[in-house]
Structure 1
Amino acid sequence: MEEFITLFQDPVSWAALATLIVMEVVLGIDNLVFVAILTNRLPKRQRPLARRAGIGLALVFRLVLLTMIASIMRLTQPVFEIAGNELSWRDIILISGGLFLVWKATREIHHLVDPNPAPSLYGAVVMGFAAAIVQILALDLVFSIDSIITAVGMTPHIPIMMIAVVVAVGAMLLAADPLSDFVQKNPTVIMLALGFLLLIGTALIADGFGVHIPRGYIYAAMGFSALIELLNMLARRSRRNRARSTLYGEDD
Protein backbone atom coordinates (compact mmCIF):
# COMPACT_ATOMS: atom_id res chain seq x y z
CA MET A 1 0.00 0.00 0.00
CA GLU A 2 2.85 2.38 0.80
CA GLU A 3 4.42 1.65 -2.58
CA PHE A 4 1.09 2.44 -4.23
CA ILE A 5 0.82 5.80 -2.41
CA THR A 6 4.44 6.63 -3.22
CA LEU A 7 3.83 5.79 -6.87
CA PHE A 8 0.98 8.29 -7.21
CA GLN A 9 2.90 11.01 -5.44
CA ASP A 10 5.12 11.15 -8.50
CA PRO A 11 3.87 13.61 -11.17
CA VAL A 12 5.38 11.39 -13.86
CA SER A 13 3.00 8.61 -12.82
CA TRP A 14 0.00 10.90 -13.25
CA ALA A 15 1.24 11.94 -16.69
CA ALA A 16 1.68 8.30 -17.68
CA LEU A 17 -1.80 7.48 -16.37
CA ALA A 18 -3.43 10.30 -18.34
CA THR A 19 -1.59 9.26 -21.51
CA LEU A 20 -2.56 5.62 -21.07
CA ILE A 21 -6.21 6.47 -20.48
CA VAL A 22 -6.34 8.52 -23.68
CA MET A 23 -4.61 5.72 -25.60
CA GLU A 24 -6.94 3.04 -24.24
CA VAL A 25 -10.03 5.12 -24.99
CA VAL A 26 -8.87 5.77 -28.56
CA LEU A 27 -8.09 2.09 -29.09
CA GLY A 28 -11.50 1.29 -27.62
CA ILE A 29 -13.14 3.01 -30.60
CA ASP A 30 -12.22 -0.03 -32.70
CA ASN A 31 -13.91 -2.32 -30.19
CA LEU A 32 -17.04 -0.19 -29.98
CA VAL A 33 -17.53 -0.11 -33.74
CA PHE A 34 -17.29 -3.90 -33.82
CA VAL A 35 -19.60 -4.30 -30.80
CA ALA A 36 -22.18 -1.94 -32.33
CA ILE A 37 -22.27 -3.81 -35.64
CA LEU A 38 -22.32 -7.23 -34.01
CA THR A 39 -24.91 -6.70 -31.28
CA ASN A 40 -27.32 -4.86 -33.57
CA ARG A 41 -27.82 -8.18 -35.37
CA LEU A 42 -29.35 -9.65 -32.20
CA PRO A 43 -32.99 -9.30 -31.07
CA LYS A 44 -33.53 -5.85 -29.59
CA ARG A 45 -34.11 -7.09 -26.03
CA GLN A 46 -30.77 -8.93 -26.03
CA ARG A 47 -28.60 -6.09 -27.33
CA PRO A 48 -27.92 -4.18 -24.07
CA LEU A 49 -27.09 -7.41 -22.22
CA ALA A 50 -24.78 -8.56 -25.00
CA ARG A 51 -22.93 -5.23 -25.00
CA ARG A 52 -22.49 -5.14 -21.24
CA ALA A 53 -21.57 -8.82 -21.00
CA GLY A 54 -19.07 -8.60 -23.85
CA ILE A 55 -17.40 -5.40 -22.63
CA GLY A 56 -17.53 -6.49 -18.97
CA LEU A 57 -15.87 -9.81 -19.74
CA ALA A 58 -13.36 -7.90 -21.87
CA LEU A 59 -12.41 -5.88 -18.76
CA VAL A 60 -11.78 -9.07 -16.80
CA PHE A 61 -9.86 -10.43 -19.76
CA ARG A 62 -7.55 -7.39 -19.94
CA LEU A 63 -6.89 -7.37 -16.20
CA VAL A 64 -5.95 -11.05 -16.33
CA LEU A 65 -3.60 -10.34 -19.23
CA LEU A 66 -1.95 -7.58 -17.21
CA THR A 67 -1.17 -10.07 -14.44
CA MET A 68 0.57 -12.16 -17.13
CA ILE A 69 2.58 -9.21 -18.43
CA ALA A 70 5.88 -11.13 -18.49
CA SER A 71 4.36 -13.85 -20.67
CA ILE A 72 2.69 -11.25 -22.91
CA MET A 73 6.01 -9.52 -23.53
CA ARG A 74 7.58 -12.81 -24.63
CA LEU A 75 5.02 -12.92 -27.44
CA THR A 76 7.17 -10.38 -29.28
CA GLN A 77 10.01 -12.88 -29.78
CA PRO A 78 10.20 -14.24 -33.38
CA VAL A 79 9.03 -17.84 -33.73
CA PHE A 80 9.41 -18.42 -37.49
CA GLU A 81 10.02 -16.61 -40.77
CA ILE A 82 7.82 -16.17 -43.86
CA ALA A 83 9.18 -14.58 -47.05
CA GLY A 84 11.92 -12.83 -45.11
CA ASN A 85 9.55 -11.59 -42.40
CA GLU A 86 10.15 -12.79 -38.86
CA LEU A 87 6.80 -13.37 -37.17
CA SER A 88 6.17 -13.50 -33.43
CA TRP A 89 3.06 -14.80 -31.68
CA ARG A 90 1.92 -11.18 -31.37
CA ASP A 91 2.21 -10.80 -35.15
CA ILE A 92 0.26 -14.01 -35.69
CA ILE A 93 -2.49 -12.81 -33.36
CA LEU A 94 -2.67 -9.43 -35.11
CA ILE A 95 -2.80 -11.06 -38.57
CA SER A 96 -5.47 -13.52 -37.43
CA GLY A 97 -7.53 -10.73 -35.87
CA GLY A 98 -7.17 -8.57 -38.97
CA LEU A 99 -8.26 -11.42 -41.24
CA PHE A 100 -11.24 -12.02 -38.98
CA LEU A 101 -12.26 -8.35 -39.14
CA VAL A 102 -11.93 -8.27 -42.93
CA TRP A 103 -13.95 -11.49 -43.22
CA LYS A 104 -16.60 -10.28 -40.78
CA ALA A 105 -16.99 -6.85 -42.42
CA THR A 106 -17.12 -8.40 -45.91
CA ARG A 107 -19.77 -10.86 -44.80
CA GLU A 108 -21.87 -8.14 -43.21
CA ILE A 109 -21.59 -5.94 -46.32
CA HIS A 110 -22.67 -8.89 -48.47
CA HIS A 111 -25.62 -9.45 -46.15
CA LEU A 112 -26.67 -5.80 -46.51
CA VAL A 113 -26.41 -5.61 -50.30
CA ASP A 114 -27.72 -9.11 -51.10
CA PRO A 115 -31.30 -8.75 -52.38
CA ASN A 116 -32.13 -12.21 -51.02
CA PRO A 117 -30.23 -12.53 -47.71
CA ALA A 118 -30.33 -15.64 -45.58
CA PRO A 119 -33.06 -15.52 -42.92
CA SER A 120 -30.54 -15.54 -40.07
CA LEU A 121 -26.83 -14.79 -39.97
CA TYR A 122 -26.07 -16.71 -36.79
CA GLY A 123 -28.78 -19.33 -36.70
CA ALA A 124 -30.83 -19.73 -33.52
CA VAL A 125 -31.26 -16.80 -31.17
CA VAL A 126 -29.34 -18.49 -28.34
CA MET A 127 -26.45 -19.33 -30.64
CA GLY A 128 -26.53 -15.77 -31.97
CA PHE A 129 -26.15 -14.34 -28.47
CA ALA A 130 -23.34 -16.77 -27.63
CA ALA A 131 -21.63 -16.08 -30.95
CA ALA A 132 -21.77 -12.33 -30.30
CA ILE A 133 -20.07 -12.68 -26.90
CA VAL A 134 -17.41 -15.06 -28.24
CA GLN A 135 -16.59 -12.79 -31.18
CA ILE A 136 -16.41 -9.69 -28.98
CA LEU A 137 -13.94 -11.48 -26.70
CA ALA A 138 -11.93 -12.85 -29.64
CA LEU A 139 -11.39 -9.35 -31.07
CA ASP A 140 -10.70 -7.94 -27.63
CA LEU A 141 -7.84 -10.44 -27.33
CA VAL A 142 -6.22 -8.87 -30.38
CA PHE A 143 -6.68 -5.29 -29.24
CA SER A 144 -5.78 -6.11 -25.62
CA ILE A 145 -2.42 -7.70 -26.42
CA ASP A 146 -1.54 -4.87 -28.79
CA SER A 147 -2.48 -2.14 -26.29
CA ILE A 148 -0.75 -3.85 -23.37
CA ILE A 149 2.50 -4.20 -25.28
CA THR A 150 2.23 -0.53 -26.27
CA ALA A 151 1.48 0.45 -22.67
CA VAL A 152 4.63 -1.25 -21.41
CA GLY A 153 6.63 1.26 -23.43
CA MET A 154 4.95 4.11 -21.54
CA THR A 155 5.19 2.87 -17.96
CA PRO A 156 6.56 -0.16 -16.12
CA HIS A 157 3.92 0.12 -13.36
CA ILE A 158 1.09 -2.42 -13.60
CA PRO A 159 -1.25 -0.49 -11.20
CA ILE A 160 -1.21 2.46 -13.60
CA MET A 161 -2.03 0.16 -16.52
CA MET A 162 -4.90 -1.44 -14.58
CA ILE A 163 -6.44 1.92 -13.64
CA ALA A 164 -6.19 3.11 -17.26
CA VAL A 165 -7.88 -0.09 -18.48
CA VAL A 166 -10.72 0.20 -15.94
CA VAL A 167 -11.37 3.86 -16.84
CA ALA A 168 -11.25 3.16 -20.59
CA VAL A 169 -13.57 0.15 -20.38
CA GLY A 170 -15.93 2.19 -18.19
CA ALA A 171 -16.05 4.80 -20.95
CA MET A 172 -16.78 2.02 -23.46
CA LEU A 173 -19.70 0.80 -21.33
CA LEU A 174 -21.16 4.32 -21.23
CA ALA A 175 -20.74 4.88 -24.97
CA ALA A 176 -21.80 1.41 -26.18
CA ASP A 177 -25.59 1.88 -26.10
CA PRO A 178 -25.70 5.43 -27.59
CA LEU A 179 -23.30 4.45 -30.37
CA SER A 180 -25.18 1.25 -31.19
CA ASP A 181 -28.54 3.06 -31.19
CA PHE A 182 -27.14 5.77 -33.45
CA VAL A 183 -25.82 3.17 -35.89
CA GLN A 184 -29.15 1.33 -35.85
CA LYS A 185 -31.19 4.48 -36.53
CA ASN A 186 -28.96 5.59 -39.41
CA PRO A 187 -28.64 2.74 -41.94
CA THR A 188 -26.01 4.51 -44.06
CA VAL A 189 -23.76 4.69 -40.99
CA ILE A 190 -23.75 0.89 -40.86
CA MET A 191 -21.95 0.69 -44.21
CA LEU A 192 -19.52 3.38 -43.08
CA ALA A 193 -18.81 1.46 -39.85
CA LEU A 194 -18.22 -1.72 -41.83
CA GLY A 195 -15.76 0.22 -43.97
CA PHE A 196 -14.00 1.23 -40.74
CA LEU A 197 -13.75 -2.44 -39.78
CA LEU A 198 -12.18 -3.23 -43.18
CA LEU A 199 -9.68 -0.41 -42.65
CA ILE A 200 -8.81 -1.54 -39.13
CA GLY A 201 -8.51 -5.18 -40.20
CA THR A 202 -6.17 -4.27 -43.04
CA ALA A 203 -4.05 -2.17 -40.66
CA LEU A 204 -3.78 -5.10 -38.22
CA ILE A 205 -2.67 -7.46 -41.00
CA ALA A 206 -0.07 -4.96 -42.20
CA ASP A 207 1.15 -4.42 -38.64
CA GLY A 208 1.50 -8.17 -38.18
CA PHE A 209 3.76 -8.33 -41.24
CA GLY A 210 5.91 -5.48 -39.93
CA VAL A 211 4.37 -2.67 -41.99
CA HIS A 212 3.22 -0.24 -39.32
CA ILE A 213 0.52 2.23 -40.35
CA PRO A 214 0.39 5.09 -37.82
CA ARG A 215 -2.92 4.96 -35.97
CA GLY A 216 -3.19 8.73 -36.36
CA TYR A 217 -3.62 8.31 -40.12
CA ILE A 218 -6.29 5.67 -39.62
CA TYR A 219 -8.29 7.70 -37.14
CA ALA A 220 -7.91 10.83 -39.27
CA ALA A 221 -9.39 8.94 -42.25
CA MET A 222 -12.19 7.59 -40.05
CA GLY A 223 -12.88 11.05 -38.65
CA PHE A 224 -12.98 12.64 -42.10
CA SER A 225 -15.35 9.94 -43.38
CA ALA A 226 -17.57 10.37 -40.33
CA LEU A 227 -17.65 14.15 -40.92
CA ILE A 228 -18.73 13.65 -44.55
CA GLU A 229 -21.45 11.23 -43.44
CA LEU A 230 -22.61 13.75 -40.82
CA LEU A 231 -22.90 16.41 -43.54
CA ASN A 232 -24.89 13.95 -45.69
CA MET A 233 -27.22 13.27 -42.76
CA LEU A 234 -27.75 16.99 -42.22
CA ALA A 235 -28.39 17.47 -45.94
CA ARG A 236 -30.98 14.66 -45.97
CA ARG A 237 -32.70 16.12 -42.90
CA SER A 238 -32.76 19.55 -44.53
CA ARG A 239 -34.33 18.12 -47.70
CA ARG A 240 -36.99 16.32 -45.65
CA ASN A 241 -37.79 19.50 -43.75
CA ARG A 242 -38.08 21.51 -46.97
CA ALA A 243 -40.30 18.85 -48.52
CA ARG A 244 -42.51 18.82 -45.41
CA SER A 245 -42.72 22.62 -45.37
CA THR A 246 -43.65 22.66 -49.06
CA LEU A 247 -46.30 20.01 -48.56
CA TYR A 248 -47.88 21.80 -45.63
CA GLY A 249 -47.67 25.11 -47.49
CA GLU A 250 -49.58 23.65 -50.44
CA ASP A 251 -52.20 22.20 -48.10
CA ASP A 252 -52.74 25.61 -46.55
Structure 2
Amino acid sequence: MSDLVILATMPEAWAALVTLIVMEVVLGIDNLVFISILTNKLPESQRQSARRIGLGLALILRLLLLATVAFIVQLTTPVFSAFGHGFSWKDIILIAGGLFLVWKATKEIHHNVDPDEQPGEMIGGAVKTGFAAAIAQILLLDLVFSIDSIITAVGMTEHLPIMVIAVVVAVTLMLVAAGPLARFIEANPTIVMLALAFLLMIGMTLIADGLGFHVPKGYVYAAMAFSGLVEFLNMLARRKRRKDRAMQTDAAETRH
Protein backbone atom coordinates (compact mmCIF):
# COMPACT_ATOMS: atom_id res chain seq x y z
CA MET A 1 0.00 0.00 0.00
CA SER A 2 2.86 2.36 0.80
CA ASP A 3 4.24 1.80 -2.71
CA LEU A 4 0.90 2.90 -4.21
CA VAL A 5 0.91 6.06 -2.07
CA ILE A 6 4.43 6.86 -3.24
CA LEU A 7 3.45 6.28 -6.88
CA ALA A 8 0.41 8.55 -6.46
CA THR A 9 2.73 11.44 -5.57
CA MET A 10 4.93 10.97 -8.64
CA PRO A 11 3.94 13.08 -11.70
CA GLU A 12 5.83 10.72 -14.02
CA ALA A 13 3.75 7.81 -12.70
CA TRP A 14 0.52 9.63 -13.59
CA ALA A 15 1.89 10.47 -17.04
CA ALA A 16 2.81 6.82 -17.60
CA LEU A 17 -0.65 5.72 -16.42
CA VAL A 18 -2.50 8.05 -18.79
CA THR A 19 -0.24 7.05 -21.69
CA LEU A 20 -0.74 3.35 -20.99
CA ILE A 21 -4.54 3.73 -20.73
CA VAL A 22 -4.65 5.53 -24.08
CA MET A 23 -2.40 2.89 -25.63
CA GLU A 24 -4.52 0.02 -24.27
CA VAL A 25 -7.75 1.67 -25.49
CA VAL A 26 -6.32 2.28 -28.97
CA LEU A 27 -5.02 -1.30 -29.21
CA GLY A 28 -8.41 -2.46 -27.94
CA ILE A 29 -10.15 -1.04 -31.03
CA ASP A 30 -8.95 -4.06 -33.01
CA ASN A 31 -10.35 -6.38 -30.39
CA LEU A 32 -13.68 -4.57 -30.22
CA VAL A 33 -14.25 -4.84 -33.97
CA PHE A 34 -13.59 -8.58 -33.82
CA ILE A 35 -15.78 -9.08 -30.75
CA SER A 36 -18.64 -7.09 -32.29
CA ILE A 37 -18.65 -9.13 -35.49
CA LEU A 38 -18.29 -12.43 -33.61
CA THR A 39 -21.01 -11.87 -31.00
CA ASN A 40 -23.48 -10.57 -33.61
CA LYS A 41 -23.56 -14.14 -34.94
CA LEU A 42 -24.98 -15.44 -31.66
CA PRO A 43 -28.71 -15.47 -30.86
CA GLU A 44 -29.69 -12.02 -29.62
CA SER A 45 -30.35 -13.28 -26.08
CA GLN A 46 -26.74 -14.48 -25.77
CA ARG A 47 -24.85 -11.54 -27.27
CA GLN A 48 -24.54 -9.34 -24.20
CA SER A 49 -23.56 -12.29 -22.00
CA ALA A 50 -20.92 -13.37 -24.52
CA ARG A 51 -19.41 -9.87 -24.61
CA ARG A 52 -19.33 -9.62 -20.81
CA ILE A 53 -17.95 -13.11 -20.24
CA GLY A 54 -15.42 -12.80 -23.07
CA LEU A 55 -14.10 -9.43 -21.90
CA GLY A 56 -14.21 -10.50 -18.25
CA LEU A 57 -12.10 -13.57 -19.00
CA ALA A 58 -9.87 -11.40 -21.18
CA LEU A 59 -9.26 -9.10 -18.19
CA ILE A 60 -8.35 -12.09 -16.01
CA LEU A 61 -6.04 -13.35 -18.76
CA ARG A 62 -4.25 -9.99 -19.02
CA LEU A 63 -3.82 -9.77 -15.24
CA LEU A 64 -2.38 -13.30 -15.18
CA LEU A 65 0.02 -12.33 -17.97
CA LEU A 66 1.05 -9.24 -16.00
CA ALA A 67 1.77 -11.49 -13.00
CA THR A 68 4.26 -13.35 -15.20
CA VAL A 69 5.64 -10.20 -16.83
CA ALA A 70 9.24 -11.32 -16.33
CA PHE A 71 8.49 -14.41 -18.42
CA ILE A 72 6.53 -12.42 -21.03
CA VAL A 73 9.51 -10.11 -21.60
CA GLN A 74 11.69 -13.14 -22.36
CA LEU A 75 9.37 -14.01 -25.26
CA THR A 76 11.27 -11.43 -27.33
CA THR A 77 14.42 -13.58 -27.25
CA PRO A 78 14.98 -15.30 -30.64
CA VAL A 79 14.51 -19.07 -30.53
CA PHE A 80 15.47 -19.81 -34.15
CA SER A 81 16.53 -18.00 -37.32
CA ALA A 82 15.21 -18.24 -40.86
CA PHE A 83 15.67 -16.06 -43.96
CA GLY A 84 18.08 -13.87 -42.04
CA HIS A 85 15.57 -13.06 -39.28
CA GLY A 86 15.59 -14.29 -35.68
CA PHE A 87 12.10 -15.45 -34.67
CA SER A 88 11.05 -15.16 -31.01
CA TRP A 89 7.97 -16.65 -29.35
CA LYS A 90 6.37 -13.21 -29.60
CA ASP A 91 6.92 -13.24 -33.39
CA ILE A 92 5.44 -16.74 -33.66
CA ILE A 93 2.38 -15.72 -31.63
CA LEU A 94 1.87 -12.57 -33.73
CA ILE A 95 2.13 -14.55 -36.98
CA ALA A 96 -0.28 -17.21 -35.71
CA GLY A 97 -2.74 -14.54 -34.54
CA GLY A 98 -2.45 -12.69 -37.85
CA LEU A 99 -3.09 -15.87 -39.84
CA PHE A 100 -6.13 -16.60 -37.67
CA LEU A 101 -7.51 -13.10 -38.29
CA VAL A 102 -6.92 -13.33 -42.05
CA TRP A 103 -8.61 -16.76 -42.15
CA LYS A 104 -11.55 -15.60 -40.04
CA ALA A 105 -12.10 -12.36 -41.97
CA THR A 106 -11.78 -14.14 -45.34
CA LYS A 107 -14.30 -16.76 -44.26
CA GLU A 108 -16.79 -14.13 -43.09
CA ILE A 109 -16.35 -12.07 -46.29
CA HIS A 110 -16.99 -15.23 -48.32
CA HIS A 111 -20.22 -15.92 -46.44
CA ASN A 112 -21.35 -12.31 -46.82
CA VAL A 113 -20.66 -12.32 -50.57
CA ASP A 114 -22.10 -15.81 -51.19
CA PRO A 115 -24.61 -16.46 -48.36
CA ASP A 116 -26.39 -19.30 -50.19
CA GLU A 117 -23.44 -21.65 -50.22
CA GLN A 118 -24.03 -23.02 -46.71
CA PRO A 119 -27.65 -22.23 -45.89
CA GLY A 120 -27.66 -24.58 -42.93
CA GLU A 121 -25.29 -22.24 -41.06
CA MET A 122 -27.13 -19.07 -41.98
CA ILE A 123 -29.86 -17.40 -39.96
CA GLY A 124 -31.01 -13.96 -40.98
CA GLY A 125 -28.13 -13.53 -43.42
CA ALA A 126 -25.39 -14.15 -40.83
CA VAL A 127 -23.17 -17.12 -40.16
CA LYS A 128 -24.07 -18.47 -36.75
CA THR A 129 -21.50 -19.59 -34.20
CA GLY A 130 -21.69 -21.35 -30.85
CA PHE A 131 -21.50 -19.54 -27.50
CA ALA A 132 -18.44 -21.47 -26.27
CA ALA A 133 -16.74 -21.09 -29.68
CA ALA A 134 -17.29 -17.32 -29.58
CA ILE A 135 -15.76 -17.05 -26.08
CA ALA A 136 -12.80 -19.21 -27.09
CA GLN A 137 -12.09 -17.08 -30.18
CA ILE A 138 -12.34 -13.86 -28.14
CA LEU A 139 -9.79 -15.21 -25.66
CA LEU A 140 -7.51 -16.50 -28.42
CA LEU A 141 -7.28 -13.15 -30.13
CA ASP A 142 -7.02 -11.26 -26.85
CA LEU A 143 -4.00 -13.41 -25.96
CA VAL A 144 -2.24 -12.20 -29.12
CA PHE A 145 -3.02 -8.52 -28.49
CA SER A 146 -2.27 -8.83 -24.75
CA ILE A 147 1.26 -10.12 -25.21
CA ASP A 148 2.02 -7.35 -27.70
CA SER A 149 0.58 -4.59 -25.48
CA ILE A 150 2.22 -5.90 -22.28
CA ILE A 151 5.66 -6.01 -23.87
CA THR A 152 5.09 -2.43 -25.05
CA ALA A 153 3.90 -1.43 -21.56
CA VAL A 154 7.03 -2.85 -19.93
CA GLY A 155 9.07 -0.56 -22.13
CA MET A 156 7.10 2.46 -20.87
CA THR A 157 7.08 1.84 -17.11
CA GLU A 158 8.60 -0.56 -14.62
CA HIS A 159 5.77 -0.23 -12.09
CA LEU A 160 3.39 -3.22 -12.14
CA PRO A 161 0.52 -1.39 -10.32
CA ILE A 162 0.41 1.19 -13.13
CA MET A 163 0.15 -1.58 -15.73
CA VAL A 164 -2.63 -3.31 -13.76
CA ILE A 165 -4.68 -0.10 -13.37
CA ALA A 166 -4.26 0.72 -17.08
CA VAL A 167 -5.44 -2.76 -18.11
CA VAL A 168 -8.48 -2.67 -15.78
CA VAL A 169 -9.53 0.80 -17.01
CA ALA A 170 -9.03 -0.12 -20.69
CA VAL A 171 -11.00 -3.38 -20.47
CA THR A 172 -13.79 -1.60 -18.54
CA LEU A 173 -14.04 0.98 -21.33
CA MET A 174 -14.10 -1.83 -23.89
CA LEU A 175 -16.94 -3.48 -21.98
CA VAL A 176 -18.94 -0.24 -22.06
CA ALA A 177 -18.27 0.35 -25.78
CA ALA A 178 -18.73 -3.25 -26.99
CA GLY A 179 -22.56 -3.22 -26.90
CA PRO A 180 -23.15 0.06 -28.77
CA LEU A 181 -20.49 -0.80 -31.37
CA ALA A 182 -21.98 -4.26 -31.98
CA ARG A 183 -25.48 -2.78 -32.39
CA PHE A 184 -24.17 -0.12 -34.77
CA ILE A 185 -22.44 -2.74 -36.93
CA GLU A 186 -25.56 -4.91 -36.96
CA ALA A 187 -27.81 -1.97 -37.93
CA ASN A 188 -25.53 -0.98 -40.83
CA PRO A 189 -24.76 -4.02 -43.03
CA THR A 190 -22.19 -2.14 -45.13
CA ILE A 191 -20.18 -1.51 -41.96
CA VAL A 192 -19.77 -5.29 -41.56
CA MET A 193 -17.77 -5.55 -44.79
CA LEU A 194 -15.69 -2.53 -43.81
CA ALA A 195 -15.01 -4.04 -40.37
CA LEU A 196 -13.99 -7.34 -41.98
CA ALA A 197 -11.60 -5.42 -44.23
CA PHE A 198 -10.15 -3.85 -41.06
CA LEU A 199 -9.61 -7.33 -39.62
CA LEU A 200 -7.80 -8.39 -42.79
CA MET A 201 -5.54 -5.35 -42.55
CA ILE A 202 -4.88 -5.92 -38.85
CA GLY A 203 -4.12 -9.60 -39.52
CA MET A 204 -1.61 -8.71 -42.24
CA THR A 205 -0.06 -6.11 -39.90
CA LEU A 206 0.43 -8.76 -37.20
CA ILE A 207 2.03 -11.12 -39.71
CA ALA A 208 4.34 -8.35 -40.95
CA ASP A 209 5.36 -7.50 -37.37
CA GLY A 210 6.06 -11.17 -36.69
CA LEU A 211 8.26 -11.34 -39.80
CA GLY A 212 10.24 -8.31 -38.69
CA PHE A 213 8.58 -5.67 -40.88
CA HIS A 214 7.22 -3.17 -38.38
CA VAL A 215 4.19 -1.23 -39.58
CA PRO A 216 3.60 1.96 -37.52
CA LYS A 217 0.23 1.69 -35.81
CA GLY A 218 -0.49 5.32 -36.68
CA TYR A 219 -0.65 4.44 -40.39
CA VAL A 220 -3.06 1.57 -39.71
CA TYR A 221 -5.42 3.61 -37.56
CA ALA A 222 -5.25 6.59 -39.94
CA ALA A 223 -6.35 4.29 -42.79
CA MET A 224 -9.16 2.89 -40.61
CA ALA A 225 -10.29 6.39 -39.64
CA PHE A 226 -10.28 7.59 -43.28
CA SER A 227 -12.26 4.53 -44.43
CA GLY A 228 -14.70 5.04 -41.58
CA LEU A 229 -15.18 8.69 -42.56
CA VAL A 230 -15.87 7.75 -46.18
CA GLU A 231 -18.43 5.14 -45.09
CA PHE A 232 -20.05 7.66 -42.75
CA LEU A 233 -20.47 10.08 -45.67
CA ASN A 234 -21.95 7.24 -47.74
CA MET A 235 -24.41 6.51 -44.93
CA LEU A 236 -25.50 10.16 -44.86
CA ALA A 237 -25.94 10.12 -48.64
CA ARG A 238 -28.03 6.93 -48.52
CA ARG A 239 -30.16 8.34 -45.73
CA LYS A 240 -30.79 11.51 -47.75
CA ARG A 241 -31.76 9.47 -50.84
CA ARG A 242 -34.21 7.39 -48.78
CA LYS A 243 -35.70 10.57 -47.31
CA ASP A 244 -36.05 12.14 -50.78
CA ARG A 245 -37.74 9.00 -52.13
CA ALA A 246 -40.13 8.95 -49.19
CA MET A 247 -41.02 12.60 -49.74
CA GLN A 248 -41.61 11.98 -53.45
CA THR A 249 -43.82 8.99 -52.65
CA ASP A 250 -45.86 11.02 -50.15
CA ALA A 251 -46.22 13.86 -52.66
CA ALA A 252 -47.41 11.43 -55.37
CA GLU A 253 -49.95 9.86 -53.02
CA THR A 254 -51.20 13.34 -52.02
CA ARG A 255 -51.78 14.29 -55.69
CA HIS A 256 -53.80 11.16 -56.26
Q: TM-score, normalised by structure 2?
A: 0.95
Q: CA RMSD of the aligned region, Å?
A: 1.4
Q: Which segments of 5 or more consecutive residues in structure 2 lack a partner in the other structure?
A: 123-127
Equivalent of 1:201, from 200, 203, 215? 203
Q: Which segments of 5 or more consecutive residues in structure 1 lack a partner in the other structure?
A: none
CA–CA separation in structure 1 for the residues paired with 2:217 and 2:164? 22
Following superposition, which runs of at least 4 residues in structure 1 exceed 3 angstroms of deviation?
none
Please give the secondary structure, in 1, of the residue aligned with 2:121.
coil
CA–CA separation in structure 1 for the residues paired with 2:181 and 2:230? 18
CA–CA separation in structure 1 for the residues paired with 2:94 and 2:244? 48
Please give the secondary structure, in 2, of the residue aligned with 1:227.
helix
Measured after TM superposition, the shift of residue 117 of structure 1 is 3.1
CA–CA separation in structure 2 for the residues paired with 1:223 and 1:181? 19
Change (3 A) 1:165 1:44: same
CA–CA separation in structure 1 for the residues paired with 2:9 and 2:212? 38
Q: CA offsets, 1:66-125, max 9 Å, x none?
A: 00000000100000011111100000000000000000000000011114232227xxx8
CA–CA separation in structure 2 for the residues paired with 1:116 and 1:246? 35
CA–CA separation in structure 2 for the residues paired with 1:236 and 1:7? 52
CA–CA separation in structure 2 for the residues paired with 1:4 and 1:14? 12
Aligned to 1:147: 149
Q: Tell me whether 2-11 or 186-195 shows the greater mean CA deviation.
A: 2-11
Aligned to 1:229: 231
Amino acid of the structure 2 residue aligned with 1:12: E
Aligned to 1:183: 185
Aligned to 2:171: 169
Please give the secondary structure, in 1, of the residue aligned with 2:146.
helix
Amino acid of the structure 2 residue aligned with 1:153: G
Aligned to 1:96: 96
Q: Percent identity?
A: 64
Please give the secondary structure, in 2, of the residue aligned with 1:191.
helix
Q: CA offsets, 1:189-247, max 9 Å, x none?
A: 00000000000000000000110000000000000000000000000000000010111
CA–CA separation in structure 2 for the residues paired with 1:188 and 1:241? 19
TM alignment of 1:1-252, pairs within 5 A: 1-118=1-118, 119-120=120-121, 128-252=130-254
CA–CA separation in structure 2 for the residues paired with 1:249 and 1:227? 33
Amino acid of the structure 1 residue aligned with 2:113: V
